[in-house]
A and B are shown apart, each in its own frame.
Chain A
Amino acid sequence: MSLIDLANPTRFLALSARVLPWLAAATVILLTIGLYQSASAPDDYQQGATVKIMFIHVPNAWLSMFVWGVMSLASLGTLVWRHPLADVAAKAAAPIGASFTFLALLTGSLWGRPMWGTYWEWDARLTSVLILFLMYLGLMALWRAVEDPSRAARAAAVLTLVGALNLPIIKFSVDWWNTLHQPASVMRMGGSTLDKAFLVPLLVMAVAFTLLFVTLHLAAMRNEILRRRVRSLQMMQASQKAA
Chain B
Amino acid sequence: MAENAPAISVRGVCKDFGGFEVLRDIDLDIATGTTTCILGPSGSGKSTLLRCLNWLEEPSVGSIRIDGKPIGRTGEGKAAKPMDRRELAAARTRIAMVFQHFALWPHLTVLGNVTEAPVHVLGRPRREAEEEGRAILARVGLAEKADMYPHTLSGGQKQRVAISRALAMTPRVILFDEPTSALDPEMVGEVLGVIRELAREGLTMVIVTHEMSFARDVADTIVFMEGGCIREVATPHDFFTAPRSDRAKGFLFRS
A, B from the same assembly: no
